[in-house]
Chains A and B, each alone.
Chain A
Amino acid sequence: MLKELKAVSKELLKTKRVDVILAYKRASDGVSAAPCFIFEEKDIDGIILDSYCVYNLSNYIKDFHDKKIGIVAKACDIKSIIVLLQENQLKREDVVIIGVECHGVIDEKRLCLSERSVQDIGFNEKCRSCKSSLPAFCDYLLKEEEDRRVTPKTEEGDEYASIRKLEAKSPAERLKFWEEEFSRCIRCYACRQVCPLCYCPKCVADQTDPAWFSKASNLKGGMSWNVVRAIHLAGRCIGCGECERACPVGIPLMELNKKIEKDVKELFGYEAGANAEQKPLFTCFDKKDPEDFIK
């Protein structure tokens, strides 16, 4: 698959179909992957493609908005490209999606913390509930030669198992849980920087006229920031998990985002990044939307 990827990438640059290729290279630790931006054919030989390629490269689309982009994308990454297309952040003809089949990517933090082997639990949480390892919406589709999948899939069906567990607790328990998590937030905004869908030129957190919420790195500020960001991603978050992976203090951000993802699916039958013709969630409504919460 890597050979094919290099060939396709070189061709795209050579014919000037794209100005830049967003791909993965080996990081300086010699083990993990890092994103790279390649402008010339000769630099393509340094790219890699393996289970360490966990980054969602569509995060960088916003940095190349005036260029034609070729992007190496796993099935989950492509969903964020689709949302960007839905929201007119990108023209379809300005991006060439090189879809790569993926049998699971490694979450390095989980790998370090565990005594078990990579094959047991090293794979990223999101990979357990992956519905399809084969990208559907792409310009090129590169398949794996053999099935490398070792991650057992989640108990059939429930990708929201952990959400349901939290929902089953009492409100007081939940508040205590979330207050403990949010009090650690240091407002580094790594979650925002790594999210493909956080592209606002002026983030709500940085607005001063009016100032919507505290900028302090305490419970009040941490709660405000994380709640607002989750709400702003409602119907848009595609669950790449990069925010949780980037968080330096280990806040379980996917437990927030997936809750809204679950609600949006159950309340409105809506899934983010399903297809490029779909309208963004809050730009449409159904006459039969639930209103049992309205007096």
Chain B
Amino acid sequence: MIDHRPQTIDHRPQAADEKWEPKIVAFLCNWCSYAGADLAGTSRTEYPANVTIIRVPCSGRMNPLFVLKCLMGGADGVLISGCHAGDCHYSEGNFYARRRFAVLKSFLGYLGIDARRFQMSWVSASEGDKWAKLIYELVEEIKKAGPNELGKD
């Protein structure tokens, strides 16, 4: 049975000497970004292992609530990646996502939440290299931003 209660598990390092590694959650659209990430994998491209990937059918399926739940649950960074504008497998899903998350991005910044913690990208199915490079840079940025203290009990 799935436990739907709000996460009480704190993913932040508990022991003082435990070295902190950023925990990043990435929502990837099935048709472009997930395939692109998969290409990076099959090409045996090395990139940091800090990202947990959640596959969604389209970036247009993304709900700002998911991003918020991740950030309040202790994720140090959240990434949404979809098809390039005009290339959405469902024609327009990514246009809706673009609008929705432009608002969320600006709002999170206004609240004082580090702008590096929520990012969005367009990665196509052939852009395995772009994906790896993106994650390298993302992990670097989140390391500089430090552990996420939001919603710490």
Chain A residues in contact with chain B, CB under 8 A? 166-167, 171-179, 204, 208-214, 219-220, 223-224, 227-228, 230-231, 234-235, 259-260, 263-264, 267-268, 281-282, 285, 287, 289-291, 293-295
Which residue on B lies nearest to A268, using beta carbons? B99
Task: Determine if A171 and B112 form an interchain contact, defined as CB atoms under 8 angstroms apart.
Answer: yes
| B10 CB, nearest partner CB in chain A, Å | 11
| B50 CB, nearest partner CB in chain A, Å | 17
> What CA separation (Å) do A41 and B119 show in the bound complex?
59
Contact with A along B103-147 (1 / 0, CB 8 A): 111110111111100011110000000000010000000000000
Can you add 12 more A-B contacts, CB < 8 Å, to A177-B112, A214-B151, A291-B85? A167-B110, A171-B114, A220-B153, A223-B72, A223-B151, A227-B68, A231-B107, A259-B107, A290-B102, A291-B122, A294-B121, A295-B121
> What CA separation (Å) do A204 and B6 show in the bound complex?
13
Q: A220-B72, A263-B107 are in contact. Are A210 and B4 (CB under 8 A)?
A: yes
Of the stretches B14-22, B24-32, B37-45, B90-98, the one at the interface is B90-98
Query: Of B68, B92, B101, B105, which one neighbours A213 at CB under 8 angstroms?
Result: B68
Task: Determine if A231 and B64 form an interchain contact, defined as CB atoms under 8 angstroms apart.
Answer: yes
Query: Of B103, B134, B152, B153, which one neighbours A260 at CB under 8 angstroms?
Result: B103
> What CA separation (Å) do A216 and B120 show in the bound complex?
30
Query: Of A208, A228, A234, A285, which one neighbours B4 at CB under 8 angstroms?
Result: A208
| B69 CB, nearest partner CB in chain A, Å | 6
Q: Which residues of B contact A281 (CB under 8 A)?
A: 99
Interface residues of B in 70-106 (CB under 8 A from A): 72, 85, 92, 95-96, 98-106
Q: Which residues of A contact B4 (CB under 8 A)?
A: 208-211
Q: Which residues of B contact A285 (CB under 8 A)?
A: 92, 95-96, 98-99
| B113 CB, nearest partner CB in chain A, Å | 7
Interface residues of B in 45-79 (CB under 8 A from A): 64-65, 68-69, 72
Q: How many chain B residues have a CB neighbour from A under 8 Å? A: 38
> What CA separation (Å) do A211 and B7 show in the bound complex?
9
> What CA separation (Å) do A172 and B65 show in the bound complex?
23
Task: Determine if A289 and B98 form an interchain contact, defined as CB atoms under 8 angstroms apart.
Answer: yes
Query: Of A173, A177, A264, which one neighbours B103 at CB under 8 angstroms?
Result: A264
> What CA separation (Å) do A231 and B152 show in the bound complex?
22
Question: Which of B72, B104, B110 has the largest number of chain A CB atoms within 10 A?
Answer: B110
Which residue on A lies nearest to B72, using beta carbons? A224
Task: Determine if A293 and B105 form an interchain contact, defined as CB atoms under 8 angstroms apart.
Answer: yes
Contact sample, A vs B, 5 pairs, CB 8 Å cutoff: A213-B68, A213-B69, A227-B107, A231-B107, A267-B103
Q: Which residues of A contact B109 (CB under 8 A)?
A: 171
Q: Which residues of A contact B111 (CB under 8 A)?
A: 174-175, 178, 223, 227
Task: Determine if B99 and A213 form an interchain contact, defined as CB atoms under 8 angstroms apart.
Answer: no
Query: Of A177, A228, A267, A290, which one neighbours B68 at CB under 8 angstroms?
Result: A228
Task: Determine if A294 and B98 form an interchain contact, defined as CB atoms under 8 angstroms apart.
Answer: yes
> What CA separation (Å) do A109 and B115 show in the bound complex?
36
Q: Which residues of A contact B69 (CB under 8 A)?
A: 212-213
Instruction: For the complex of A and B, list the 8 residue pairs with the smallest distance between their C-beta atoms, beginning with the closest.
Output: A175-B112, A174-B112, A285-B95, A295-B121, A210-B4, A220-B151, A171-B112, A294-B120
Which residue on A lies nearest to B86, using beta carbons? A287
